[in-house]
Every structure is written in structure tokens, then in C-alpha cells.
Chain A
Amino acid sequence: MKNLVSFIFVITALMILTGCQQQLSEAGSNNKDRLVISWPQDVGPLDPHSYGENQMFAQNLVYESLVKHDEKGEIQPHLAESWEISEDERTYTFFLREGVKFSDGSKFNAKNAKKNFDAVLAAPDDHAWLELTNQITQTEVIDPYTFEITLEDTYYPLLEELALVRPFRFLGDAEFSEDRQFKDPVGTGPWVLQEYRKDEEAVFHRNENYWGEKPEMEELVVRVIPDGDARVMAFENEEIDMIYGDGLISLDAFDHLQSNENYEVGTSPPQATRALALNSNRGATEDHHFRQALNHAFDAHSFIEDMLHQTEEHALSLFPDDTPYQPDDLDPYEYDPSKAESLLEESGWEQVDNNDIREKNGEPLQLTFVFDANDKVQTILAEYMQSELRALGIDIVLSGVDNQSFLEAQKSGDFDIIYNETWGAQYDPHAMFSSMRVPSHADYQAQLGLADKDELDEKISQVLVETDEQQREKQYEDIISTLHDEAIYLPVSSPSTIAVYHDDIEGVQYSPIPYEFSLEQVRR
């Protein structure tokens, strides 16, 4: 028995030692051609047509789309050099770029494009959320570099949806197996997956066959670091070169890094809007003037400065300025407490007998603010707003709930104020508007009290199928202005991608689309 115990001891020790592996890739100036970043999760298997654990930013490194958003958010040719739209706007003919090769050396052509499209369309359940997959009736190879898509109806956001990171991107021919299961990640993109250790790190190499501008760095390492503080520690310890992404570190940590002169920081253009939805169907917020008063009463600028350490831009309307169809003549609701006060008086809320809280017909002015308590920014926003509006005699009741109850409140409309966000640059405005017609969304519930809600929904349905560009622009302007004038939303700030990097790094760029990281120009 004694021997057995020492035997077990020795075996365990051996197991532990042999369990050790080679060293992880290191950052720092001794590896001039290697860029090390980190991500909280594993990059996933990198199937271009799949979701879940596949991380979008990593899929975007390896795979490419027919068209792409540029820095201004406008659609530009990418794997397709140009396209033609038929008279009835139901057939799109794409002329593909010649000479594009996959990282395994095989050619990208119309046959491959069809194969990828058909693979996506063969799994309609997976992709039904994307209207385009429901609209495509036919895909066709016209000649080796001409590819045609036929739609059931006209659908103007087609190009926008083709630009998305998934599912319409292209996998090499050899990687499809018979049951349409994917084998290995082979794409046409600037990076190629070279080494992969699940939940530890993924190493990408520059794609030497890349048709466009090749990445400056030879190697891109993505290390999995789940904890924000551990990430900051690894960064300061020069184990990673750069922190790049949204919400990867706490705001305090960002502030701490920002103040160090050896580090550079930067942010992308705004990618969405944090906009509170005010319920026009309930209580005090039913009143149009009252909603406008709230818009004038909240000092979003100070909030961003004090609480967000200026990591986000101040949002003046529901969508950022460079969103397609955003009218440029909207009159923003400036922070103006005296105007807010007069609007409050106008709608009958008055300060009685030196009470802190305003009253109307004996009812105190109380608003319920529903937010997801697990989200840090939502929580500090709600608390900040509570203390700020108290000075104007408005009592905000915080209702910080778990994620499920938050979704429940969106559906039921059981809120005066609810935290809300737009869908992000690639979906705004069309997908966001589309969802405003669906009763399970907070937007629908908040707008329900508008006198012309039915008319508004009708307008949205029209604009999504409108084929005339000028008409469409006019209709969008009409809808956006209506929502703005009605003050249904209280825009606060625009989240964006944040970068913190050591000062020997150059060429850090940003895309307006979340998860499309532009790391190709980064050099030391």
C-alpha cells in the first residue's frame, strides 16, 4: 500500500510536467512582426456561415464579402468589382474580382460564390433572422466571374446585408464536406489561421496570396483573457501589445491607462446609440411636452465626461450623423434646465409647498426607469439620471432587473423610461425601423401612445420596399423627424470600439462597423 501511494505520487508529478506545453506567443519589441491582442472568449471554429461561439471579429479576419462598408459607412465594391440591378430591381448581377485566391491557393469565382450562397440558403432556419435569406429565390453562375441573385420581391437593403460579417461570406471549395459541415477555415481575407489552441490562443499569419493590401505585420496573435483586470495587467506587463474592442476593460481601468504617457488611446467613429425610450402610452411621459422637457433636462455631456471618461461621443439624435438617410436639419434638444423647467410647468407639473418633488393634481412626479442591472453602463446611467433629475423635482424610481425581466418589460411596455440601444451601424436604420412595428420591442411599446402610430408603421413598411432612391430618402426623413419631434427617445451617447496600445505601435485604424477590426495597417 505504501508503494502504491508513492507510485501514485510519482505518476501525478509526471502527468503534471508532461501536461505542460510550449511557451505562449509573446508580445514586445523583440518580435517586430507580431501583434498580440486579447479577447475574452475563444475565437471559435471560424465557420463563416455559423453563429454562436464563432467570434465575428475573427470571422472578419479570414473571410470576405462581395461588398463592404467604407470608413464613412457607405457600400463599396469588394470581392465584387461592380454590379448591375435589373429594371424590376429583383435581379442583381455581380461581376466578381478576378485573380482572387483562397489561402489554400484555390480560385474564388462565381461557382464558389454560388456554392457558398446555396449552403447558406440550404439552412433557412439558421439564417431566417436576416430578411435577405428569405428573399433570395435563385442563385446562378452566368460565366466564371459573373454571379446572379434573383429575389422574390424588391429588397433595397440587399447590399447592406451582403456586407455583414455573416452569413454571406466565402469558404474555400475544399472545405465543404458532403453533409455541408465545414472542415477548416480557409478564406480569401488578409489573415490565415495558422495555430489554434482552444481557449488559449489563436495565431493568424498574413495571407501571402491576398489580392488587396497585405497586412503590415506577419503574425496576429489573439490570446484568450476572460478577465478585464487580468487583461490590463497583461497589457502593462507587455504580454499583449494592444487592447482593441468594446467593453474589454472597465472604465476606471481605461482612465488609468489613458493617463499613462507610454500608452496611446483611440476610439472608433460612433457605432450605435444608447437612447432611452420614453413611454408615450403611460403616465407623465404620455405628454409630448413632458418628453421634450426630459430631453432638455438631462445633461448627457457631463455624464459622458464624469462617468464614461469621455470614451463615448455625445449623441444628439437617435442615429449617429453618418447613418444612411439621417437628415442633417434635425434640431437637437440641448441641455437647458430652465427650458426644461418651463416645459414642466407648461404640462402642469408644479412645485407645491416647497416639496422636492413636483406634483400635478396631487400626484407626485414619479417615473420608473427599467434597465439591465448586470450592465455597468446602464446602471451608472440610471443612477446618474436619478440624482440629476431630482434637482428639477423629478423622482426616478430605479428598476434594475436581470436580463430576462428586462426583455419582459420591453415586451409588456411596463416602463416609463427604458434603456434602449440602436442596432449598430450595419443594421441602422432599416432593421431598427423594421422592428419598431413588432409589439415585442420596447420601441413599439414606447410609440404606442402616439396619435398616428398606425400611420407611422405604415410608413415604415413602405420605405422598406420603396424602390425609388429619392422617394426613400424623403420617407426616411419624414419618419426620423417625426420620432425626433415627438421626443420618443432620449439619446445619450454612442458606444464605439476602444483601442489602447503601447506607443511603439502605429497605424491603428477603426471601422464604423462593430467587429470589423482594421488591423492590417498596424505596424511597429
Chain B
Amino acid sequence: MAALIARRILMLFPSLLFLSMFIFLLMQLIPGDPAQAYLRLSQIPPTDEAITAVREELGLDLPLYEQYWNWLISALQLDFGRSFLTGERVLEEVLYYFLATLQLSLTAFLLTIVISVVIGIFAARYQKRSFDTFSRLFSVGGSAIPTFWLGFLLVYFFSYQLGWLPSGGRGDWSSLVLPVLTLSIPYIALFSRLLRTSLLEVSKAYYVTYSRARGLREPSIFRKHILRHALLPLLTVSGVALGYLLAGTVIVESVFSWPGMGRYMVTAITNRDYPVIQFYIVFMAFIFLVVNMMVDWLQAWVDPRLRRREGSRHV
């Protein structure tokens, strides 16, 4: 198993290398000049001389392959360069914003999973009864509503009308409530429905009928034979969802003034802050790959068939 993990981790590096090269080229293709963006932001009139001076300072006058090579060599030593805009180390800056994002997205993720599972189970158990109808309505509404509007609606009711919660900013736990709800509701809408369908499907399987015939007690059938199977598709999608959440959520971060990765990235893109864009994408690819890997292991844990296919006895 250790060898397997090691192999998969080693496999990350060629993907990341290829990706970084690709992104580097792609960034050059987008029209826009970081030097001009810097000057505009600094309120300095962008004369030709000023642009040339800034380009030189940022190392943009070097040939492309040399720029990439320099980046790669320092990246291998975990030095990802400095932001064009702030002059700070990219790694430190990204970590700063990543912590804020982590706080928001993990809370939203946990809430999503817990609530979806509860709603999914109840909706499946009381199929076609009022709770099921309600959950269906919720899921249609929840997945159709645009995030920014949902965010503003929540702010309007809970902070403007009722005055219970702050409308934005990153303060104590109360400031976490509204952005987390805004992030979770669309996912809950989706996941609870997914789980309900999958529960209903699994409960029709032969092995469930057989286990009833074997005289097993109902709660144990549900836990061991139905729920465990039904969770598999949910695991796959939740892995993807976690990846997206960790990448930062521009809209929610803007609406709630949350200092997270999404906003940081959008600022970097508008300012053509190449080192930041480059590192962000490589870092996010890394996170996605790691989350995927974890989902694979979790699936193998839930579903012993997968374990056997991988050719190992334990996870």
C-alpha cells in the first residue's frame, strides 16, 4: 500500500510540470501587459518609458524560455517568486488567503455532507410523502438560484431586516454563518437528491431482499447494505465539490467581503500578476489531485470490491 501511495504521489510531479509549462504559455497569449496594469494601479501615467522601466524590473524583458526556466528552478526550491503587484512572496500570500478559504469551505463542506445525508435518508424513507415533496422543492429551488442573489437575500433578511448577523467581513463565528449557508445550499440541494435516488435504487437490489430473507434486523440492513452502497456516488461528487470549494469562491467572497483565494486570484488576473496566477493554478491542481486521491481511498474503504481490484488487502 505504501508503494502504491508513493507511486501516486510521484505521478503528481510530471502532471504538475506539464501544467505549469502550459499555463506559462497560455498566460502570454492573453492580451494585457502586467507592466501597464501595475502602472494603472499605481496611478502613474503609462508612458512608454515608464512601461519599459517596469517591464525590466519585473524581468519581462527576458526571452520566454528564460523566464520559464528561472521560474522552474526557483519553484523546485519552493520559491515561487514575488507578486508583481505587492512584491511579497507568492507562497506566503497564497497561504494567508488559503487559510481564510479553508475555514469557509471546510465548514460549508461539513455542513453540506451532514445535512444532505440527513435530508437524503428521510426523503428516501418517507418517499412521496410531504417531507419528500418539500425536499424536492428545496432542491429545485436551491440549485436554480444564483449564488450572488441567494447571498444578498440572506443578508437582506438576516442582517438588514432581523439584525441577527453581520452582513460581511471575517469576524467571529457569526460572520461565518451567512457565507457558509450561501455556499452550502446549492450543494445540499444537489447531494440530498442524489443520495435519495441512490438509496431508493440500492434498496431494490437483490442482496437487500436476501438479507431481509436471512432475517437480519432492519436497521442493520439499512446501515450495512443500503447506506454504504448508496454513499458511493455521493463520495465521488463530494470530492469534486471540495476541490471547487477550496479553489475559492469569488462570488461568495465578494458578497461577504471574505478575504479568500477566489478574490485574490481574480485581482491577480485583472492585474496580470503572472507569478500569482502561475502558482495558484499549480497549487490548485495539486489540491485537486490530492483530494481525488483521498476520495479514491475513501471509496476503497467503503467498497471492498475496489480494494481487491487494486490488489491490496488493507487500506
Contacts and interface: CB of A to CB of B under 8 A. Distances in A.
Interface stretch (A19-27, A375-383, A391-399, A479-487): A19-27
Contact of A125 (B31, B57, B99): B57
Interface string B259-281: 10001000100000000000000
A451 interface: no
Contacts of B156: 233
Contacts of B48: 438, 440
Given A12-B110, A19-B103, A438-B47, A229 B152 contact: yes
A384 B301 CA distance: 64
A129 B45 contact: yes
B299 interface: no
Interface stretch (B72-80, B170-178, B189-197, B211-219): B170-178
B307 to A, nearest CB: 11
Contact of A233 (B32, B38, B50, B155): B155
A226 B263 contact: yes
A405 interface: yes
A237 B169 contact: no
Contacts of B231: none
A435 B172 CA distance: 51
B20 interface: no
Interface stretch (A69-77, A194-202, A340-348): A194-202
B110 A423 contact: no
Given A230-B256, A234-B168, A438-B47, A52 B175 contact: no
B239 interface: no
Interface in A7-40: 9, 12-13, 15-17, 19-24
A431 interface: yes
Interface string B28-53: 00011100101101111111111001
Interface in B152-204: 152, 155-156, 159-160, 163, 166-173, 175-176
Interface in A400-415: 402-405, 407
Contacts of B160: 233, 236-237
What is the interface residue range for chain B against chain A? 35 or more
A200 to B, nearest CB: 5
Nearest to A234: B167
A1 B315 contact: yes
Nearest to B103: A19
A497 to B, nearest CB: 14
Contacts of A52: 38, 41-42, 85-87
B238 interface: no
Contacts of B87: 52
Nearest to B49: A128
Q: Which of A17, A23, A233, A407 has the most CB of B within 10 A?
A: A233
B257 interface: yes
A263 to B, nearest CB: 15
Nearest to B173: A20
Contact of B31 (A13, A402, A427): A402
Given A230-B257, A404-B32, A21 B167 contact: no
A198 B171 contact: no
B90 to A, nearest CB: 14
A227 B289 CA distance: 32
B232 interface: no
Interface of A: 1, 9, 12-13, 15-17, 19-24, 41, 44-45, 51-53, 56, 125, 128-129, 198-201, 223-227, 229-230, 233-234, 236-237, 239, 402-405, 407, 423, 427, 431, 435, 438, 440, 515
Given A22-B171, A237-B155, 5 more contacts: A21-B172, A41-B267, A226-B257, A404-B36, A407-B36
13 contacts: A1-B315, A19-B103, A20-B176, A52-B42, A129-B44, A129-B50, A198-B96, A226-B263, A227-B257, A230-B155, A230-B254, A237-B155, A404-B32
The 4 lowest CB-CB distance pairs between A and B, nearest first, are A51-B42, A199-B259, A19-B103, A24-B171
